[in-house]
Each structure stands twice: as C-alpha cells, then as structure tokens.
C-alpha cells in the first residue's frame, strides 16, 4: 500500500478530525475527499484493491445523515475503515449502516470505530474530545492497519471473514428534525454560513435557511465567528437543556472493532 485516502462528511469538524488523525498515524501519504461539500459528493470517486480508505461521518439520532452520502464512490476491492462520530449520547445503528454501505460499494471493511466529539447542539457535551483515551484507540487502529493491511490481510487468513460491529441491521427509523438556524441581529451578512452549508440550504442573498433542505447539522452555527445564527424552535431549547442535564458530565468511551 502506497497511500491512504480519507473520505469524510464533517459539517462541524469531528469526523474530519478523527479520520485525518488516523491517516496521519498510519504514516503513509494521504489524500482527502471532503464530502461535506455538495459538489464533491456528486463526483465519481473510484478506488482499487491497492487502496486503503478511511470513511467518516457523524451520527444524527442514531443513523447516518439522510442524504446520498457515498452514492458515487466505488470500492473495487479496496480496504475500508469505517468511523462514526457522535455527541456523547449513542451511535446506535450508524456504524453498522456505514459498514454495510461500504460493503455494498465494493469495499472490504477491516476495521471500524465510534468516537465522541462535541455535540452538534451544545458545547458542553463531548467537549475537549479527542482525549488521551481516544488517541490511544486511534493508535490501536493505526498499528492494526500497519500490521495487517500493509502486509496483506489475506496472508493472515481473514480473506472470507466479515467485520462485526455494534448496531441493529434493521435500522431505526429516521427522526425528522427541523431546527433550521436563521440569522439574528448579530449577522453582518458575510455569507460564510451559506458557503459552509453542506446542503446549499441557505440563500446567498437573504441568508435564510430553507427548512426543507436543512438537515440541522449546525455547520452554519458552529462556523459563525459572530454567533449570528440560531434556531428559535421552542422545543429545541428544551431538548438542549435535557441533553446537557443527562450528558455533560458523562464521558463515553470510544469503541473500535478489528477483523481478528
């Protein structure tokens, strides 16, 4: 293996952070495919059996984002590592969903992990991650990949095995969330929110978000230096309060899954 590719959907940076950290630890040159950008998701990306590809995406209510995330990716026997990131609650069916998608796309999934990052809706939940334990798990993944993939996993007798991860094969139903953030009085109309939106749901002139296109990823909120975007949904404030009460003092541990 001569290089590693990293393919991530990362509106608030958690999935990019963990996937690139892993790629750096493998100590091979790596190429990034930022699928947060809508135009990049439309391009066909083709790999081969000589490639190692790290896929990473966030968890929204126990599932992957409800969009055609890796629709135009082809594996052709490439090795894959699946990573999901979540805000310290649960990742539920998202990891097995990502693994299944990769296998359907022609990848051989040989490792996976679920890691914690700052929650989409609160800076108090999952703050300061990755921590030392997270980095140790990344080191374990990197050492595993160096030993088994770079030397040829078939030589280790795992060719026909399939990786087992946590999650229900009968995925939970998608939760319809409509918390489309809108500009407030602090907005200076810089347009950064519209440029950062992975769904192109924000009008470039009015900077208003289309609730039908918005997936409530909060890329616009987290990426605004002026704190000029917010959601006024009454239920949202109660949800955040409940999440913070239940999770801000909880430290979930990262989990990794290896083919051995």
3-state DSSP assignment of residue 193: helix
Domain enclosing residue 217, as ranges: 182-232
Q: Tell me, rounded to whole angstroms, the distance of Cα 151 from its chain centroid.
A: 28
CATH code of the domain in which 217 resides: 3.30.70.20
219/17 Cα distance (integer angstroms): 15
Q: How many domains does the chain have?
A: 2
User: Do residues 203 and 110 share a domain?
Assistant: no
> Counting beta carbons within 10 angstroms of the beta carbon of residue 166, is it exposed (0 to 12), middle (13 to 18) or buried (19 or more)?
middle
Q: For residue 46, is it within any domain?
A: yes
167/91 Cα distance (integer angstroms): 8
Q: What is the pLDDT of residues 37-52, one digit of tens each?
A: 999 999 999 999 889 9
pLDDT at 153: 55
140/251 Cα distance (integer angstroms): 20
User: Do residues 40 and 140 share a domain?
Assistant: yes
Locate all alpha helices (DSSP H) within 61-184, ordered by sequence: 94-104, 132-144
Q: What is the pLDDT of residues 115-137, one digit of tens each?
A: 999 999 999 999 999 999 999 99
Element (H, E) at 242: helix 234-247
pLDDT at 154: 52
DSSP-assigned beta bridge partners for residue 114: 84, 255
Largest CA distance in the chain: 62
Q: In what order do the strands lie in the sheet with 4-8?
A: 30-34, 4-8, 52-58, 79-86, 108-116, 255-258
Q: What is the pLDDT of residues 140-185, one digit of tens each?
A: 999 998 887 666 655 554 455 789 999 999 999 998 777 999 999 9
Q: How much is the mean pLDDT over the chain?
A: 92
100/78 Cα distance (integer angstroms): 14
Please report which confidence band the pLDDT of residue 28 belongs to, taking 50, 70 and 90 as the band edges: confident
DSSP characters for 9-70?
A: --TTSHHHHHHHHHHHHHTS-EEEEETTSHHHHTS-EE--TT-EEEEEEE-BTTB--SS-SS
pLDDT at 53: 96
List b or e across 118-152, with b for residues whose CB sees 16 or more CB atoms inside 10 angstroms: bbbbbeebbeebbeeebeebbebbbebbeebbeee
CATH code of the domain in which 129 resides: 3.40.50.360
> Which residue, 17, 12, 97, 86, is CA-closest to 54?
17
User: Do residues 107 and 205 share a domain?
Assistant: no
pLDDT at 122: 95
Q: What is the pLDDT of residues 214-238, one digit of tens each?
A: 999 999 999 999 999 999 888 999 9
pLDDT at 158: 47
Q: For residue 177, is it within any domain?
A: no
User: Do residues 16 and 104 share a domain?
Assistant: yes
User: Do residues 78 and 163 share a domain?
Assistant: yes
3-state DSSP assignment of residue 199: coil
Q: Tell me, rounded to whole angstroms, the distance of Cα 249 from its chain centroid.
A: 23
User: Do residues 128 and 227 share a domain?
Assistant: no
95/214 Cα distance (integer angstroms): 23
Contact 7, 55 (CB under 8 A): yes
């Amino acid at each position: 293996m001569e290089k590693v590719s990293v393919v991530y959907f990362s509106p608030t940076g958690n999935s990019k952070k963990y996937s690139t950290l892993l790629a750096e630890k493998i100590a091979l040159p790596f190429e990034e495919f930022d699928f947060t950008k809508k135009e990049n998701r439309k391009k066909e990306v083709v790999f081969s059996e000589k490639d190692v590809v790290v896929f990473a995406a966030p968890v929204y209510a126990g599932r992957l984002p409800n969009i055609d995330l890796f629709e135009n990716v082809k594996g052709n026997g490439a090795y894959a590592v699946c990573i999901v990131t979540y805000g310290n609650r649960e990742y539920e069916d998202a990891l097995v969903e990502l693994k299944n998608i990769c296998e359907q796309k022609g990848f051989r999934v040989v490792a996976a992990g679920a890691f914690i990052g700052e929650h989409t809706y609160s800076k108090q939940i999952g703050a300061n991650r990755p921590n030392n334990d997270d980095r140790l798990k990344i080191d374990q993944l990197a050492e595993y990949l160096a030993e088994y993939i770079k030397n040829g996993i078939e030589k280790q007798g795992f060719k026909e095995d399939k990786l087992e991860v946590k999650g229900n094969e009968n995925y939970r139903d998608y939760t319809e969330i409509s918390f489309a953030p809108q500009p407030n009085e602090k907005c200076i109309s810089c347009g950064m929110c519209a440029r950062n939106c992975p769904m192109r749901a924000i009008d470039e002139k009015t900077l208003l978000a289309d609730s039908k296109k918005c997936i409530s990823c909060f890329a616009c909120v987290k990426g605004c230096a002026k704190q000029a975007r917010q959601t006024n949904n009454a239920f949202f404030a109660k949800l955040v309060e409940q999440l913070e009460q239940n999770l801000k003092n909880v430290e979930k541990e990262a989990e990794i899954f290896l083919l051995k």
